[in-house]
Amino acid sequence: MSIDHIIFIALIQGVTEFLPISSSGHLIMIPTILGTSDQGMIIDVAVHMGTLLAVCLYLWRYISRIILGSVRGYRDPDFRLTMQIILASISVICVGSVVKYYIDDIIRSPKIVAWATLGFGILLGVVDRFGMTSRRIEHMSYRDALIIGFAQVLALIPGTSRSGITITVSRALGYERQEATRFSMLIGIPTILAAGTAISLDLYNYNDLQLTIDACLAGGLSFFAALISITLMMNWLKCASFFPFVIYRILFGSGWLIWLYKT
């Protein structure tokens, strides 16, 4: 894989991972744009691991609360948040393992990406426009965490956007924009970690030095891009909505559908 291809993939992943516009969908479209072969799941997950480190750094206060809450036990208020993240992660990790081995090649289709980008983008716009903004993470129930977690399963369809669908459901449940985004990032940590661990084992079994170097470079670049992207988005959401992301998804999905069905 060329260095230009690696840099492009890493930057796209870093910028889009926690924006509600589907990083996996963009990564699948890259080979079509560049006229190259698909970079494969190993590079995909390597750049996801880079963004994982970025979000852990950005949310280090919440991460420390989760760790301390787990150690102190159920009487600690932060133990509740720990359990909610676990509940929200169980379903997608279980279903994701099935998808990886049985239907991953089928759903990694540009047409599926385009339709999912468009459809779930419109859904985000509607929910964000009419949803209440009165609840915070501290108000979250176990039921809400479970519902948001089940929504992550839909994100296994490339183009849906894991952050996009979880933010959509959180907004439908009445959570503030920043809080919905923050919880989406938190429940993304175990999901990305599980996928990264599985692919790391695959990478070890390949025993391919060049592939390992490519994966490490891609992961490092995506880390820096993600950190900048997360910071800018959270500052934006202090005083604005998800409207620009919705418009982008509509244009992106519609443009790809027109192009794909004409060729």
What 3-state class would DSSP assign to 231? helix
Lowest mean pLDDT among 38-47, 64-73, 108-117: 38-47
Q: Report which of residues 119 and 195 the model is more confident about.
A: 119
Two tokens at 200? 């790391």
What would the two tokens of residue 97 be?
Answer: 């393992």
How many domains, the chain?
1
Determine the structural domain holding residue 117 and report its residue range.
3-262
pLDDT in tens, 62-91: 899 888 888 777 777 788 888 999 899 887
Tens of pLDDT, residues 202-252: 666 666 677 778 888 988 999 999 999 999 999 999 989 999 999 999 999
Give the model's pLDDT for residue 78.
Answer: 82
Q: Helices 40-58 and 177-206: crossing angle, nearest 10°?
A: 140
- Class of residue 54 by CB neighbours under 10 A (exposed 0-12, middle 13-18, buried 19+): buried
For helices 177-206 and 142-154, angle between their N-to-C axes, nearest 10 degrees = 50
The pLDDT mean for the chain works out to 85
Asked whether the predicted pLDDT for residue 104 surpasses 80, the reply is no
Tokens of 179: 């809080």
Q: How far apart are CA 16 and CA 21, in angstroms?
A: 6
Tokens 């009165």 found at: 134
Which position has the higher pLDDT, 172 or 34? 172
Angle between helices 177-206 and 162-172 in degrees, nearest 10: 150
